[in-house]
Structure 1
């Protein structure tokens, strides 16, 4: 898949998630008003939070691909982590906090639910729409995992692509939340106790809180300077060491500056014994050659000191 096609696929995934969450949020809100179910209200808050978050993720995708300029020589890739962080915080505040708060309120001052059939129908429709969005994000995650030789779950958790991780996590949480809401409403109907419905709201809130904290932590790591895993580092090191003009590598720093975008700093020992001007030109030529790789945003090479040990990759 080309870079343009991959970017289009990411935008399509986020757009599908936004439409699905918006439709589901409206349906759940109507159902919550008609049934008085605490679990359904928690689910409506969840879906509204998800729909709002997709807007942040769309902004993240748009702003992160802006080309580098004089004031931002490493590009705008980290914008993706900033806006994805906003989305994760939104999930926590608008989803988790509201759901937990309402669950506690319902336990203290229970309100009997009614018209359970409406709730079941809305949950079923929501499951279909959320399932479509989840399937789309899974397809994209599998493509990315295949590209880097990883499992789908490993790629989703550790990928430098924050929007895909957010959509996948939110969709998984949405489907799990639907199951929790169904169980809470069903137990309320069977036992006549609204406590089950309230506990469903609490469980949904805790679920969203855990997902939000995980997403916040992942974005925080990339914002403060996340290095790639040992496999990517080893592959980059071998590519450098195997270059015909490079004798050995004594220092290598790799850092994500955006989704699938790396900043490379390396100290190398060049073949031959050239004059200073020739070496400077040779290093610059090597840097430009390295930057032709679509994953390299910027490369900076410097000369190794003779007593520095070589790195083995």
Structure 2
């Protein structure tokens, strides 16, 4: 039986791949003078810092409610998500673009370019492994890539997936650029490889910012999940109708449900309280990440 892939494992593997990228590519960039390899180091640095910020944000968001924050700290995760995306833009895209422009304006030949090729081949395999791991955790094969990207659950895993996809793609771009450089001896290809990687990282950071923005503005659950919630509530025989149902992501791992219901007219106060407890229990069974259920009652 295959071992279950945990969020911790996905994030840890992604972080270790980024650490390996930074160390190996920095050493090889200093030896060879390749802008492409330097850009790959910058990508690993940006991803590593971003991953650390996401983990820190998840821990801070998990703090229990207190007097100053009676609803908890769940929304703080969104702030750290923004910082994580900005780190990719600054450290990843920014440094890679700077080195690419430098090589474009003042081109210098590469020393032992085959060493640069070798380290990028390694980066393709390590980043590719990390992509496969996070893709299996997200269920990309079952749900499809588009649906996975539209979902807002598992933000740490999805962030790792997007970053590792970018890392794999930039490694392939850099590898192609260096192979062409070895074939034709055109230094501009090394510069263009680094600049292409910078563009990819900039686009990736914008995608991550858009994901965080959707959460900050209180993005609703999908229609499919809303239908499941409505069905669970209506399954209680004491509920006559669901007049309104709103469910939004109130944190990276938390959901707030707000509903307007009609109950049977013959219920007393004790029975109504029992119905409310039953509804909350039914909702949590199908959606454990629901942290708060707010119900407004009307007479039918």
Q: TM-score of the superposition, structure 1-length normalised?
A: 0.86
Q: CA RMSD in A?
A: 2.4
**Corresponding residue number in structure 2 for 1:281:** 273
Residues 26-45 of structure 1: per-residue CA shift (max 9 Å, x gap): 10011111111111111111
C-alpha contact 1:134 1:171 (8 A) present in aligned 2: yes
What residue ranges of structure 1 are gaps of 5+ in the alignment?
Answer: 307-313
Q: 1-side partners of 2:136 and 2:22: how far apart? A: 24
Equivalent positions of 1:296-307 (< 5 A) are: 296-304=290-298, 306=300
Instruction: Give the alignment partner of residue 94 of structure 1, picking from 91, 95, 99.
Output: 91
Deviation at 1:229, TM superposition (A): 1.1
2:104 paired residue number: 107
Provide the rounded CA distance (Å) in 1 between the counterparts of 2:243 and 2:6: 39
The correspondence for 2:211, drawn from 204, 215, 218, is 218
In 2, the alpha carbon distance for the partners of 1:157 and 1:288 equals 26
Q: 1:155 aligns with which of 148, 156, 160?
A: 148
Alignment of 1:104-253 (within 5 A): 104-142=101-139, 150-253=143-246
Unaligned 5+ residue runs, structure 2? none
SS of equivalent residue, structure 1 residue 250: strand
Deviation of 1:216 after TM superposition, in Å, equals: 0.5
- Tell me what 2:41 maps to: 44
Residue in 2 aligned with 1:18? Answer: 15
TM-score (norm 2): 0.90
Task: Number of aligned residue pairs: give it.
Answer: 296
Per mean C-alpha deviation after superposition, the further-off stretch among 259-268 and 198-207 is 259-268
For residue 92 of structure 2, give the secondary structure of its aligned residue in structure 1: helix
Distance in 1 of aligned mates of 2:45 and 2:253: 30
Aligned residue in 2 for 1:34 = 31
Q: What displacement does 1:78 show?
A: 2.7
Q: Indicate the SS of the match to 1:253.
A: strand
- Return closer, same or farther for 1:71/1:236 CA change in 2, 3 Å cut-off: farther
Q: Does 1:78 align with 2:75?
A: yes
- Higher alpha-carbon deviation: 101-110 or 170-179: 101-110
- Separation in structure 2 between the aligned mates of residue 281 and residue 242 of structure 1, nearest angstrom: 17
1:76 offset after TM fit, Å? 3.2
Deviations 1:19-68 (A, max 9, x none): 11101211001111111111111111111111122211221332333344
8 A contact 2:232–2:283 mirrored in 1: no
Cα distance, 1:176 vs structure 2: 0.5
Q: Secondary structure at the match of 2:243?
A: strand
CA distance in structure 1 between the partners assigned to 2:62 and 2:215 by the alignment: 16
SS of the aligned residue for 1:225 comes to coil
